[in-house]
Amino acid sequence: MYIQNNLQKKLTVTTFLLPSILGMIIFSFIPIVISLYFSTLDYDILIPFNQAKFIGIDNFTKLLSKTELYSVLSHTLYYMILYIPLILISSLLMASLLNRDFKGSTFYKILFYIPVITSWVAGAVIWKWILNSKFGFLNQWLGFIGIPGPNWLFDKYWAMPGIVIAAIWKDTGYYALIFLAALKGVDKSYHEAAIIDGANKFQRLTRITLPLISPTMFLVIIMNVIGGFQVFESVYIMTGGGPANATTIIVERIYANAFRFLKMGYASAYAWVLFLIIFIITMIQLKLQKRWVNYDT
């Protein structure tokens, strides 16, 4: 549709954008401001709001002085150290396979994407059965090849790897499609020239493919770092933070303080500390991208 009048164009654009802008203000901006205000209060949601006590930065000083924050932060970082390299490798591998021309490729794309649209509740139930120490499929398979399987979700050393395995299963299809779009954009002439020059598959991967898709890889890393700090559903459903608090992570503590212990002000302070951590790490990543991300195609 062609709009001649400049004023009419502005009104049309505003009309279409207004629902989204209002939604962001009501459901994002206002709750963010309210949570910042709550972080300065000693507020229990079971008492009337007018009885909430203003305590300034006491929630933050209390949070930073406790060892709990550093413990759950270490668990969250441990999850990310396990998860991010594995999701990059698995999704890139799947994308490379789907990038080939073969019959039924569309079917496999749909098949690999099914875990992505599966709810974590259903997925967690499946994986709690798979990771069962006695009757689980994974331990039975390991036993078949002579490896004694661990007590996955009830062992403090194996609970987090078990959660990571389930997360890899669920998320690989999503990031594989992102990488697949990037691989489709790589000009085949680069590989053809490299083959003529005698480059092997590994050399073509490391010197052509990976540099050319590095912007996409950077995007995926950013998404996974932010998502890693915000992981909650898988931990809450599969282990509830156990065993022995081995899988307690930051968002689980925010949820527990807000809705289990009813300390809304303390939970809000937790959320803002999480925001600052994500913000600082994201800024560092944006600075470091200049060293390895190639935007020249």
Predicted TM-score (pTM) of the model is 0.89
Give the model's confidence band at 107: pLDDT under 50 very low, under 70 low, under 90 confident, else very high: confident
Show the tokens assigned to 19: 């629902």
In the predicted structure, residue 2 carries a pLDDT above the cut 70: no
In a domain, 34, yes or no: no
* Side chain identity at residue 54, one-letter code: F
In the predicted structure, residue 164 carries a pLDDT above the cut 60: yes
Domain count, the chain: 1
Give me the chain's average pLDDT, please.
Answer: 90
Tens digit of pLDDT for each residue in 265-277? 999 999 999 999 9
- What is the three-class DSSP state of 44? strand
In a domain, 165, yes or no: yes
> Residues 87, 142, 240, CA angle at the centre, nearest 5°?
55
Amino acid 10: pLDDT: 79
Q: Which long-range contacts (CB under 8 A, 24 or more apart) does 262-267 make?
A: 262/44, 262/45, 262/46, 263/43, 263/44, 264/38, 264/41, 264/43, 264/44, 264/45, 265/38, 265/39, 265/40, 265/41, 265/42, 265/43, 265/52, 265/55, 265/59, 266/59, 266/62, 266/63
CA-CA distance, 16 to 109, in Å (whole number)? 34
In a domain, 226, yes or no: yes
- In this structure, what CATH number is given to the domain that contains residue 283? 1.10.3720.10
Mean pLDDT, residues 230-254: 91
In the predicted structure, residue 283 carries a pLDDT above the cut 80: yes
Range list of H helices, the chain: 6-24, 30-38, 58-65, 67-98, 105-117, 120-130, 137-144, 159-184, 188-196, 201-204, 210-212, 214-229, 233-238, 250-255, 264-292
Tens digit of pLDDT for each residue in 45-56? 888 888 889 999
Give the model's confidence band at 3: pLDDT under 50 very low, under 70 low, under 90 confident, else very high: low
Tens digit of pLDDT for each residue in 24-53? 999 999 999 999 999 999 988 888 888 889
In a domain, 267, yes or no: yes
Kindly tell me the sign of the dihedral angle through the C-alpha atoms of 229, 232, 235, 240. Answer: positive
In a domain, 262, yes or no: yes
Tens digit of pLDDT for each residue in 65-84? 989 999 999 999 999 999 99
In a domain, 37, yes or no: no
In the predicted structure, residue 1 carries a pLDDT above the cut 70: no
What is the domain extent for residue 99? 57-292
Give the model's confidence band at 190: pLDDT under 50 very low, under 70 low, under 90 confident, else very high: confident
CA-CA distance, 282 to 276, in Å (whole number)? 10
In a domain, 33, yes or no: no
In a domain, 259, yes or no: yes
> Residues 99, 100, 102, CA angle at the centre, nearest 5°?
130
* Side chain identity at residue 33, one-letter code: V
